[in-house]
Structure 1
């Protein structure tokens, strides 16, 4: 991204997110309305809200997205796969799954890869039925991993067939950092998308993350970002 990027260009990078546990139906509805108004790429919500979101976004260009194994990634692979299947059946077309962090930090890399692959397989198995590509993003929770572990996690996600690697849930000590995004992009190359999420709250934040390799931004403060972008356009 360059400084002259239009508000529309910025909006197309954003997953408009509402993952607060006590979010109301009215807040979910507003999220969908804001997403269509500003032209965000996706709306990301908890699984329980997916049917509502899918219905409200029907016949729009905005993609329903949900989380799997959120926020700790500590579910068994079969549980994550079942959660993914249910989410796709309910209308989700993108899945942001949390990596099995304990498997990575314990050096059980094959287990971590199997965990991601279970969700990827569940998503792929549903694609013919829904007639739509279901993208899987792997949340690494970079705040809890060392630099070598972030690199290994990226390799795991790529080997397991994921479409994106993502920095954060937004519930750890810190969210996206430019240096982590740059590392993730270096490891996955051009093959995968990179989503920077957590603490991205301004146009400058978006531009910094994109400059370091992010192709998607997860944000709950998306409207403020867009109003800033429009004001400076």
Structure 2
């Protein structure tokens, strides 16, 4: 492996190296894990049906799993059960999707209750990230959802699934999310973060975690142009 520059290495340690394609196979996930270890990413992020994973002994690699993905239109009890099963099967972190329709209807108490149900299913120190689908929300809705997520006990608010037609992360959304949560939670930028410069911009706006599928290409962008991702 070619050694990474300090900047590239530090960004790698913010990445959830992600594979959420419906056609993903066990072999694909094995390759994802190997690449994550080579690149030095913080975690791999996979679908719940891919668990349990085999992480090589001594590897400094967390396992993140999505919940209620990608629509968020699952009953809260189903999301909570899905999260609890993922934890039982070895997940360290859960990335759950809110009911975006509830947010659009102004039902922020319901959004908070949904998140709280999943939070209650996660024993400490397991990490909860709440995907708000920021591109589908107004600024006022982003603020309200972030406040609901913090009140429900989330560790992170996350921009996007990467599957919504409205789009993914933007610098504006990340900055607004960070301004809203302050020191009460962290921010994950995900969806459409395709280049090293994109990653730097998201971090400057307040992100401390990045959801990336094309991590190798993004990291290589520290020294070469043209990094791209299919995420």
TM-score by length of 1: 0.91
Indicate the residue corresponding to 1:48 in structure 2.
49
Distance (whole Å) between structure 2 residues aligned to residue 57 and residue 142 of structure 1: 35
Secondary structure of the residue that 2:161 maps to in structure 1? coil
Q: Select 1:175's aligned residue among 161, 168, 183.
A: 168
Residue by residue, what CA displacement relative to the aligned partner does 1:185-228 show, whole Å, maximum 9, x if unpaired? 00000221100000111110000000111110001110101222
Question: Residue 56 of structure 1: CA displacement?
Answer: 2.5
Alpha carbons 1:50, 1:65 under 8 Å: kept: no
More displaced 10-residue stretch of structure 1: 97-106 or 178-187: 97-106
- Unmatched 5+ residue regions in structure 1? 128-132
Say whether residues 1:13 and 2:14 are aligned partners. Answer: yes
Alpha-carbon distance in structure 2 between the residues aligned to 1:180 and 1:92? 28
State the match for 2:29 in structure 1: 28
Residue in structure 2 matched with residue 113 of structure 1 by the alignment? 112
Q: Distance in 2 between matches of 1:79 and 1:26?
A: 28
User: What is the total number of aligned residue pairs between the two structures?
Assistant: 220
Alignment partner of 1:157 is 2:149: yes
Flag structure 2 segments of 5+ consecutive residues without an equivalent. Answer: 226-231
- Secondary structure in 1 aligned to 2:101? helix
Matches within 5 A, 1:1-233: 6-51=7-52, 53=53, 55-124=54-123, 127=124, 133-173=125-165, 174-229=167-222
Q: CA RMSD in A?
A: 1.4
Contact 2:168/2:190 (CA < 8 Å) preserved in 1? yes
Residues 65 and 95, structure 2, Cα contact 8 Å, conserved in 1: yes
**What is the distance in 1 between the residues matched to 2:35 and 2:98?**
29
Give the 3-state SS of the residue equivalent to 1:123 in structure 2. coil
* Residue deviations 1:72-128 (CA, integer Å, cap 9, x gap): 11111111100011000010010000012122111221111110001111002xx4x
Q: Contact between 2:131 and 2:161, CA under 8 Å: does it hold in 1?
A: yes
User: CA shift at 1:229, angstroms?
Assistant: 2.3
Find the aligned partners of 2:23 and 2:60 in 1 and give their Cα distance. Answer: 27
